[in-house]
Structure 1
Amino acid sequence: MKTIEIDDELYQYIAGQTQRIGESASDILRRLLLGDSSIQPEPLAEPVVVTPVISSNIFDLINRQDLQAEQSVVGRFLFILSTLARAHKKQFAKVLDIKGRNRLYFGHSAEELSEAGSSTNPKLIPNTNFWVITNSNTTRKKMMLTETALKLGYSEQDAERIRDLL
């Protein structure tokens, strides 16, 4: 069996081209690339499994009602970060590279963030092993969300959409 990695956008496109229940990715690609679903090529020695590189994106997972249920900016901030972490489990550690001039924004523990600055008020990002400072103004939190989105591969436009969720 051969395995190929494709980005999430392409995977969603292929899945969106499904015409019947149970149609495999190979059947879909055969139909799209060869133009005729009745063409039956010789069976492959090994079937191909299509695996998306990114599990999903935040826009597939974010629930506006849950987001609006968060009464505080900090609550929404943590909710958005948690959703980004869920969408990008393997890549989320890239947030550790996001830093201010004199302080860390993300870390592996509250102590790590507290040692790197005063009045950081670190909070655990729900359902992760990452901590984030929360004692910054809303503008700084929006900048942190924008940088996080860019690190995770979102376009500038989508990063702004994520920022505006706050």
Structure 2
Amino acid sequence: MKTIEIEDDLYHYIATQTRQIGESASDILRRLLLGEQVTSQTSAADVKPETVDVEPVKPAVTLETSNTGTVFDLVSRQDLQAESSVVGRFLYLLSVLARVHKKQFSKVLEIKGRNRLYFATTAEALSEAGSSTNPKQIPNTSFWVITNSNTTRKKMMLTETAVKLGYSENDAERIRDLL
């Protein structure tokens, strides 16, 4: 398998073409470029380039300017499995939610426990609000989250985040179950 680097807008476009959770980038590209008949079990050697009709790719719509996508458009099983810890998966899912709902993501600041903050814009704010919070920055955002809570609490935080961002209870549970 080869690794290629692509720009963010192209990655977002590929991710928005996902038809099912867990579909790999290779499967998506194979489907888009080589047609529906080619599956992930088909190797590159099985495809005869002279018989393939390639449709032009539509220009990418970046998620920063569009709130029409959902987290399910971007979450990849491969990326989740690459995160070896619950904290890594938690941060990854929050990062994807932030990317999809960039303009609304600040609503997470409203999510709090009885005696502690869960989200803040600085690590210091979380540290001051409780002992041993182990704040970590949500990747590619200016938001911080506590990470020393148990998995059940992290799932609750993901569920509340999804609901605040407009997901139905069922979809919020699906997001929670990705953790």
Structure-1-length-normalised TM-score = 0.68
Q: Which moved more, 1:142-151 or 1:53-62?
A: 53-62
Partners of 1:55 and 1:116 lie apart in 2 by: 35
Alignment match of 2:159 (pick from 127, 146, 154): 146
2:78 maps to which residue? 65
Q: Which runs of 4+ in 1 moved over 3 A?
A: none
User: Which residue identity is paired with 1:88?
Assistant: H
Q: Which residue of 1 aligns with 2:90?
A: 77
Amino acid corresponding to residue 149 of structure 1 in structure 2: A
The alignment partner of 1:164 has SS state of helix
SS in 2 for 1:127: coil
Q: How do residues 25-64 of structure 1 correspond to structure 2 at under 5 angstroms?
A: 54-64=67-77
**How many percent identity over aligned positions?**
78
Partner AA of 1:86 in structure 2: R
- Superposition CA RMSD, Å: 2.1
1:100 pairs, out of 86, 110, 113, with 113
Once the two structures are superposed, what CA deviation does each residue of 1:86-131 show, in whole Å capped at 9, x if it has no partner?
0000000000000000000000010000000001000000000000
Q: CA deviation at 1:54?
A: 1.6
Secondary structure of the structure 1 residue equivalent to 2:114: coil
TM-score by length of 2: 0.64
Deviations 1:23-64 (A, max 9, x none): xxxxxxxxxxxxxxxxxxxxxxxxxxxxx8624110001111
Q: Tell me, which stretches of 5 or more residues in structure 2 are unaligned?
A: 1-55, 57-64
**Equivalent residue for 2:125?**
112
Q: Distance in 1 between matches of 2:175 and 2:138?
A: 16
Q: Which runs of 5+ in 1 are unaligned?
A: 1-20, 22-51
Greater strand share, structure number = 1
SS of match in other structure, 2:112: coil
